[in-house]
Structure 1
Amino acid sequence: MTKVIKIISWFNENKNEENIKGMQRFGIKTDKTFGIKIPILRNFAKTIGKNTELARKLWQTDYHEAQILAVFITKPNELTEADLDLWVNDFNSWDICDQACMNIFDKTPFAEKKIFEWALREEEYVRRAAFAIIASIAVHDKKASNEKFIVSSQKCREKMEHG
């Protein structure tokens, strides 16, 4: 059995119907989900270790938990700009968007470029990704000045309003 199949089997073994109902209440699409809570996924990720190639394969399964697990096992410095574009185009819920942006996308050398690129896009979660990256960098980059984020936010807003 491949690692991906073993992981999907683990998801099935840990499926939680009650959590799936809760996810629905929060607007998360649940057609390809197992209802596994984030802390459990984080602990499971620790048993796997960092593995960006496996993360790419998990992402392609299109399972909700597989994509979040992919975020947790990815090394941000191994992501390409094409990876970010591929993943952002697959976002179908706010939680996957926020997990990806606030755990790995914000740590890539492409983060600031993507803020301005994605803020102009029509897709809800792609645009959300731009602002999630701004928020994450603002929280995590202790050396950055407030002015940097004020300007970024203003530029994004201007581009969204005027094209």
Structure 2
Amino acid sequence: MARAAAPPPDVDAVLAELKGLGSEKNRLGMARFGIETGRAFGVSIAMLRPLARRLGRNHDLALALWASGFHEARLLAAFIDEPKKVTPDQMDAWASDFDSWDLCDQVCLKLFVRTPFVDDRIAAWTDDDREFVRRAGFALMAAYAVHGKTVPDARFAAFLPTIERHATDPRNFVKKAVNWALRQIGKRSMRLHAPALSLAERLAASDDRTARWIGRDAVRELSDPVQLERIARRDSSASARR
């Protein structure tokens, strides 16, 4: 006799499980890293991953978890949502809800970068004045540079003026994302390395303190011989596959 299919997961049951996994020690640790903990249970990413695997992809559950407003529920939503069902309106709504760098980055890395709307959202969000929305634009740019394997390098070279335009934004969570995007583009290929390094050197010589920090940090990484060797090796492997 065939076994009956398991009922779909219930959002209240998932929230109860998250609450049970949480701890005050973890909440305090999150706060020390600048993570908003007002609605956090204190569950680590390492504990969320097996739960996400068990739940599987589920767009409706992801929307319900996000709507709950709990930090770890929103992280879990990014892990289980179905990229093909994500819309630009959903992306904008979730980006408007970002209140922590880790939530912003995980959603961009695990979900948004897998949608077909990446270029449009990067353009819209990097020019948005809200701190975490702008961070999302640059976090998505950085994730795209890593995961957009078949995207032409010219697409990423076109992002460099956007990086330069916002390199003077002094807000901590923005400047770190701008720096991240610049470094990831520069490490994508040798063709992108030269223009990215040139921009980094120009920023490093800037009179603006924020631009100088972004540039110097990027120059340090992009000038590292180990990084150059990795980029060259990656280019060689890509050429061999073509």
TM-score, scaled relative to structure 1: 0.92
- Runs of 4+ displaced beyond 4 Å: none
What does residue 63 of structure 1 align with?
70
Match for 1:125 among 129, 132, 148? Answer: 132
What amino acid sits opposite 1:30 in the alignment?
Answer: T
What does residue 74 of structure 1 align with?
81
Match for 2:119 among 87, 112, 115? Answer: 112
Q: CA RMSD for the aligned pairs?
A: 1.7
The 1-side partners of 2:145 and 2:80 are apart by 23
Q: Which runs of 5+ in 1 are unaligned?
A: none
Identity of aligned residues (%): 38
What does residue 14 of structure 1 align with?
21
For residues 142-153 of structure 1, the aligned pairs below 5 Å read: 142-153=149-160
**1:160: how far off?**
8.1
What does residue 205 of structure 2 align with?
none
The 2-side partners of 1:127 and 1:92 are apart by 12
Higher relative contact order (CA 8 A, sep 6+): 1
Given the alignment of the two structures, is residue 49 of structure 1 paired with residue 65 of structure 2, yes or no?
Answer: no
> Which shows bigger deviation, 2-11 or 100-109?
2-11
Greater Cα radius of gyration, structure 1 or 2: 2
SS in 2 for 1:95: helix
The 2-side partners of 1:87 and 1:103 are apart by 14
How many residues were matched structurally? Answer: 160
Match for 1:90 among 83, 87, 97? Answer: 97
Match for 1:103 among 110, 134, 140? Answer: 110
SS in 1 for 2:79: helix
**1:155: how far off?**
3.1
TM-score, scaled relative to structure 2: 0.63
C-alpha offsets along residues 56-102 of structure 1, whole Å, 9 cap, x if unaligned?
01000110000000000001111011100110000000001001111
Q: Which runs of 5+ in 2 are unaligned?
A: 1-8, 169-242
**1:150: how far off?**
2.5
